[in-house]
Each structure stands twice: as structure tokens, then as C-alpha cells.
């Protein structure tokens, strides 16, 4: 099952990222994972949060451009070689990764993947023995 990621477009200027996190913090939104990509003009924040719908609504109410994107999330052992093993499954299933990021838990790492066809990729990876995480599982980590 895919999870929803919140994507936010931000102006690339001092304090903008802080304003976004301030809005989320004031509404008790917990950021579980975050990736920031930038250009000279703007940045894109991609994040997993404890309540994606509340976060998206709050951000829009505060004049941020926020959207939801389906991504796949998998747990791996936090040991050398385990990411390579997971990526081998993607290669075997002929799934192209558009981007990825991660966050660490106490005993595991959690890998987040954006692919071009989430449902197809998930089915192919499931046939390779992989089970993706749910929104509830991500929120509980």
C-alpha cells in the first residue's frame, strides 16, 4: 500500500522553511521524514507527517502550495548491504526510481521511493517478497 507524501513549494529565501515548520509545529504536525531539493528560485520540500490531510489543509490555509503524492515506503535492516538488497528487487522488477530519501528508526531504516507507476511497482515488488508500509505504520514509527 502506498503512503501519501506532502510536497510543498517554497521560495528560496531565508526564513521560508522556518515559516513552514512553524505552521506545522503550531498545529502539532510531526514530521517523520523530510527531503529538500532546491533551485536558485524555489525549493521543494517532500515529507512524511503524522497527519497528511491536516498538514496539507493547514499549509494551504497559510498560503503555501502543498500537494499530496503517492510514494512507496519499505523497512530495511540498518546494516551495510541492506539498501543494495532492496534496490536489487527494484531492478529485478524493472522499476525505475525517480527519487528516494530515508529516515532511521531505532533498529531499522525506512526508505521512501517515488516511482512512475506506484500501483504497478508495488505489485511487482510484492511478487519479489516485499511488503510496503502503510500510512498508519509510518505515523507509528
Task: Tell me what percent of the residues of the chain surpass a pLDDT of 70.
Answer: 100
Model-level pTM?
A: 0.86
CA distances from 71 to 5, 113, 116 (A): 7, 6, 10
Domain spans, the chain = 3-69, 71-134
pLDDT at residue number 74? 92
Which CATH superfamily includes the segment(s) 3-69?
Answer: VC0802-like (3.30.2130.10)
Find the range with the poorest average confidence among 7-11, 65-69, 135-139: 135-139
**What is the rounded radius of gyration, in angstroms, for the C-alpha atoms of the chain?**
16
**Do 3-69 and 71-134 have matching folds?**
no
Check pLDDT > 90 for residue 98: yes
In tens, the pLDDT along 117-134 reads 888 888 888 888 888 888
- Dist CA 52 CA 4 (whole Å): 7
Query: Is pLDDT larger for residue 68 or for residue 39?
Result: 68
- Dist CA 130 CA 125 (whole Å): 6
Tell me the backbone φ, ψ of residue 59, rounded to 5 degrees. -65, -45
In tens, the pLDDT along 23-62 reads 999 999 999 999 998 877 888 999 999 999 999 999 999 9
Residue 25: count of CB within 10 angstroms of its CB: 11
Q: What is the CATH number of domain 71-134?
A: 3.30.70.260
pLDDT at residue number 81? 92
Count Cβ neighbours within 10 Å for each residue of 112-141 and write b for 16 or more, e otherwise: bbbbeebeebbebbeeeebebbebeebbeb
% helix, strand, coil for the chain, step of 5: 35, 40, 30
Cβ-proximal residues to 38 (8 Å cutoff; 6+ apart), any chain: 12, 44
Amino acid at each position: 500500500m502506498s503512503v501519501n507524501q506532502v510536497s510543498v513549494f517554497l521560495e528560496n529565501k531565508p526564513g521560508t522553511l522556518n515559516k513552514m515548520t512553524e505552521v506545522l509545529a503550531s498545529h502539532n504536525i510531526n514530521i517523520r521524514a523530510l527531503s529538500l531539493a532546491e533551485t536558485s528560485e524555489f525549493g521543494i520540500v517532500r515529507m512524511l507527517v503524522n497527519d497528511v490531510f491536516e498538514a496539507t489543509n493547514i499549509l494551504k490555509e497559510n498560503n503555501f502550495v502543498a500537494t499530496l503524492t503517492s510514494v512507496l515506503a519499505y523497512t530495511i535492516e540498518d546494516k551495510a548491504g541492506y539498501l543494495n538488497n532492496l534496490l536489487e528487487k527494484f531492478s529485478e522488477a524493472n522499476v525505475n526510481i525517480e527519487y528516494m530519501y530515508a529516515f532511521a528508526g531505532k533498529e531499522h531504516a525506512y526508505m521512501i521511493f517515488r516511482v512512475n507507476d506506484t500501483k504497478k511497482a508495488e505489485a511487482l515488488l510484492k511478487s519479489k517478497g516485499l511488503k510496503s508500509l502503510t500510512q498508519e505504520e509510518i505515523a507509528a514509527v
